[in-house]
Amino acid sequence: MDSLLSKHWHHLPQDEVTTLLESDGDKGLDIFEVTHRQTHFGPNSLTQKKGKNPLILFLQQFHQPLIYILLVATAVTFALQEWVDSGVIFGVVLVNAVIGYVQEAKALKAIEALARGMEGIATVVRAGEKQKINASELVPGDLVLLQSGDKVPADLRLLRSRELQIDESALTGESVAVQKQPQRLARETVLADRINMAYSSALVTYGTGAGIVVATGDGTEIGRINALIASAATLATPLTRKIAQFSGILLWVILGLAGLTLLAGWLHGEPLLDTFMAAVALAVGAIPEGLPAAMTIMLALGVSKMARRNAIIRKIPAVETLGSTTVICSDKTGTLTQNQMTVQQVCTGDKCYQFSGVGYVPQGEVRLDESTVDPQAHPALEECLKAGLLCNDSRLIDNSGQWDIEGDPTEVALLTAAAKAGLSREALEQALPRIDTLPFESQHQYMATLHDAGTDAAVIYMKGSVESVLSRCRDTYGADSELGLLDQPGIHREVETMAARGLRVLAFARKIVTTPAQSVAPADVADGLTFLGLQAMMDPPRPEALAAVSACQKAGIQVKMITGDHLVTATAIARQIGLNGTVGSDPDSFAIGGQWLAQLTDHELVEVAQRAVVFARVSPEQKLRLVEALQAEGHVVAMTGDGVNDAPALKQADIGIAMGIGGTEVAKEAADMVLTDDNFSTIEAAVEEGRAVFDNLVRFITWTLPTNIGEGLVILVAVFAGIALPITPVQILWINMTTAVLLGLTLAFEVKEPGIMERPPRRPETPVLTRVLGFRIGLVSLMLLLGAFGLFEWTLLQGQSIETARTVAVNMFVFGELFYLFNCRSLQHTMFKLGIFSNRWLILGVIVMALLQIFFTYSPAMNLLFGTAPMGIAEWTWVLTGGLVIYSVVGTEKWLRRRTSSENDK
């Protein structure tokens, strides 16, 4: 039995399906067989992945090279009974670990959400008796009955259907409910086209049906998606990858310098303890203790800013990842489009009318040749809309300004179009009450309703496929209400034009019945109808999607559409929102179908993923493969989506983006970011914020490293020269921690650089620090070394105490950083271009830091704790002059680089 569950059920005849599953198409399974199969197959639920132990999760927060360095420094200082040093360093490590743990404790809950999605009640026939059971009790071979409003409880091979329509948009991306039929299909039929199957968690929107369970739990299509989510790798973000590389290099550099310090002290015959303390001072000075905390705080501030712009970040590093994004793979349905069918054009008589407005809100204008018209002055238009309104079983409900639908989205689109034209359903149903209905059947491809027209007369309205309706018509309803000749070739040409634009077209007709009638039968509508016109609809693009896509492309980000919808529809939407601007005119390089994708090798897929823009009719596995193919080329991939079928790719992508309103819970749980307004344009704002956050992080690193390097060099030079340390470990810690908090973190509030969305994305392989910034860091480090060491020696030569000399050196470092901070407000421009007072937090931080240094210098308690002493006016003059020199030199260096760049551009 287990081997049968992997068969291509859509390809098998109905009787073979029931035989293989040892079931009965009318009576279902007997009770004993159900019990046996429940024991064998288990419950109809998804296997949940076991989560990490909380303790292990917490300990993993320490698994980083930079944290290793800090932990070693903590242990060494603790062993040397430097309690203040040890406590502060470990405090920094602990705070970072707690923040990281809290974030990861909210780990992905996609599998749990999928499991919740499968809960519910199922109607089954067992031993010939109809009964309702918990869906988890279903087994392969069960006979399940479906009706409008049901959630499909397992994967079913349909045996019978009557006007059965199922909404599979969350699973396949198909924006229209699928008409289901039990007939046998070709083996290679893709999932979205398997009309004889009903898949678990899809919604029945219309009609009834019966099917036999062919898969339960993990064996269902949604179960396979669950497995894909579990197996998709959670990738390191560009920032974490770069910081990990940087930390690894820093680890070896610090260990090497500490080793040199020990060697130099030994060669100079220094006591071992003093040499060891010098090595610790160098390590503590070289380690940017504030970097992990600054990273976390800056990213958290980015989260807060993005929340105000309708983007909720579930995983903090996603803020920066957005700024590095090179490709956005967007789902179509509900992301780039409204996920609300909308009538856009009505052709009747010899005229075609355009309808404005999108979605189910019944507001919009009717235009003819770019001019707004009164529909009541156009009887042919009004009659076509009337047919769509009366031959209709759906409802459009005004729920306090929120328009909800009941029934088929296509029918609701017809109601909305009629309402835009001023037609009242209540008034028309009173004037033309319905007598009988001929429901839609797949073999006939039409629906017809009979209405009482008064005085022993009746009218039949029909809607359906163009071919079905036209074959039953003998004339057409003209613009002047006169009957005319039916131009079938002309109508078909119009339909082809509409279809090429991705529009779904329905035809409408009517028949006047002059004799009393109480029912309508297929024979009554076999011929003699009057053609009323065509209504063309589509799931329209979001109005803001065009501008958002254009902005992303301007920022150097490729936008690709990956959808389960039809190729023609997807291509039409893509061209409407401007995706055709990203490739050449070769149509073969623009849109690719899922059936062709399935035949590609991984190597071929990488090439196609780079070239093509639209990927239509793709399965969840193919979405996942496409994301992996782009990542294989070094792209930082953002994936947007709202359906269950998007979840594996959302998790695999560098950043997954789900829709908050229209998105499924599965998609939200699998995503790194959720858009609360379901607005694609919010992604543009998020990318901008992400780039700003990365800029601020680079500013902080560029600002903080010269201090660490300078401190390390001061210690190294002192040890090699065999003289007293100009700064002690506890003074180094004071410098590092106070300046990081009061000065460095204020860069998180810096205004965005001009033209931030006009530059290309950072290449993934680009290091955090460029050669230019590396040179600047080295330059400032050297100036801090010369300033601090020089002033230390000068103060001693003036006959001052070593405590005073060390206080001068400490202040040289602090005020050197303070002046350099103004250089780092922009890595290319002067602070005057950004506005001197545009960052008020920075100004406040500078003032507080200056006051704190005065307290550090003159407070007896601080003098005792940190080994400092008061300074005179002369010493302060040299310290401030040194800071001003650093600001001037870096400012000149930036000016020279701007000038060189400007000349090269010419």
Indicate which residues carry an active-site annotation.
Answer: 331
- State which H helix or E strand residue 145 sits in: strand 143-147
Answer for the pair 888, 830: CB distance below 8 angstroms, yes or no: no
Question: Which DSSP string do the residues of 631-693 spell out, in sequence order?
Answer: HHTT--EEEEE-SGGGHHHHHHSSEEEEESSSS-HHHHHH-SEEETT--THHHHHHHHHHHHH
Q: Where are the beta strands (DSSP E) in 471-613?
A: 473-477, 483-484, 504-513, 529-538, 558-562, 591-593
Q: In whole angstroms, give the CA distance from residue 341 to residue 412.
A: 8
Q: In whole angstroms, give the CA distance from residue 192 to residue 177.
A: 11
CA distances (Å), origin 226, targets 214, 220, 402: 18, 10, 33
Residue type, 24: D
- State which H helix or E strand residue 213 sits in: strand 203-215
Q: In whole angstroms, give the CA distance from residue 254 to residue 758.
A: 38
Answer for the pair 345, 369: CB distance below 8 angstroms, yes or no: no
Q: What is the gyration radius of the CA atoms in the chain, in angstroms?
A: 36
Which runs of consecutive H residues, i.e. helices, occur in 664-770? 665-670, 681-721, 729-742
3-class SS of residue 25 = coil
- Residue 292's contacts (CB-CB under 8 Å, 6 or more residues apart) are 64, 66, 67, 92, 93, 96
Q: In whole angstroms, give the CA distance from residue 299 to residue 318.
A: 9
Q: In whole angstroms, give the CA distance from residue 743 to residue 821.
A: 7
CA distances (Å), origin 276, targets 73, 77, 79, 273, 302: 12, 10, 11, 5, 41
CA distances (Å), origin 303, targets 281, 524, 752: 36, 64, 16
Q: In whole angstroms, give the CA distance from residue 549 to residue 160.
A: 44
3-state helix, strand, coil in the chain (%, to 5): 55, 20, 30
Answer for the pair 458, 452: CB distance below 8 angstroms, yes or no: yes
Q: In whole angstroms, give the CA distance from residue 74 to residue 254.
A: 15
558: left (phi over 0), alpha (psi -120 to 50) or beta: beta
HEC letters along 390-426:
HCCCCEEEEECCEEEEECCHHHHHHHHHHHHCCCCHH
Structure tokens at 180: 């289901």
Q: What is the largest CA-CA distance in the chain?
A: 123
Answer for the pair 715, 810: CB distance below 8 angstroms, yes or no: no
- Residue 243's contacts (CB-CB under 8 Å, 6 or more residues apart) are 66, 295, 768
Which runs of consecutive H residues, i.e. helices, occur in 435-484? 466-470
Q: In whole angstroms, give the CA distance from residue 125 to residue 112.
A: 29
Residue type, 611: R
Q: Where are the beta strands (DSSP E) in 492-632?
A: 504-513, 529-538, 558-562, 591-593, 614-616
Answer for the pair 65, 251: CB distance below 8 angstroms, yes or no: yes
Residue type, 262: L
Residue 336 CB coordination number (10 Å): 28
